[in-house]
Amino acid sequence: MLYLDRPSVPWRGRLWSHLISDVSYAELHAFAEALGAPRRGFDRDHYDLPAERFAMAVWLGARVVPSREIVRLLRAADLRRPKHLHRPRPVAPRTPADPRDLALSARTSD
């Protein structure tokens, strides 16, 4: 099931809701895609949804719940990813330069 709270979080001159699934992130991403929400709106365990998309989300089947219920539902489904536990994607290790490339660049810079 999909849930969202009423738009009440102000940011960048707009009001925002939180859209979650109590089933899976796959369900959440599929619903957000059908809603036309960009993937960049996904924040660890929910989508930040602007007020303009609220009515469409409800029309598509999301259930409106109080904001406190959002976190409770995520925890109950074991889908909560708090900020302090979120690990950003690891950065690919840099490969050391080939010594031959360094020697070549030293010769050509003279």
Give the confidence band of 30 by pLDDT, cuts at 50, 70, 90. Answer: very high
Radius of gyration of the chain (CA): 21
The tokens of 83 are what?
């900020």
Tell me the per-residue pLDDT of 44-85, one tens digit each, with 9 for 90 and over: 899 999 999 999 999 999 999 999 999 999 999 888 877 655
Cα-flanking dihedrals φ and ψ of residue 89, to 5°? Answer: -60, 140
Residues belonging to the chain: 110
> Cα angle vertex 38, ends 72, 28, to 5°?
35
Q: What is the reported pTM? A: 0.72
Task: Measure the N-to-C terminal CA separation of the chain; round to a whole number of Å.
Answer: 67
Every domain of the chain and the residues it spans: 2-65
Q: How far apart are CA 51 and CA 71, in angstroms?
A: 19
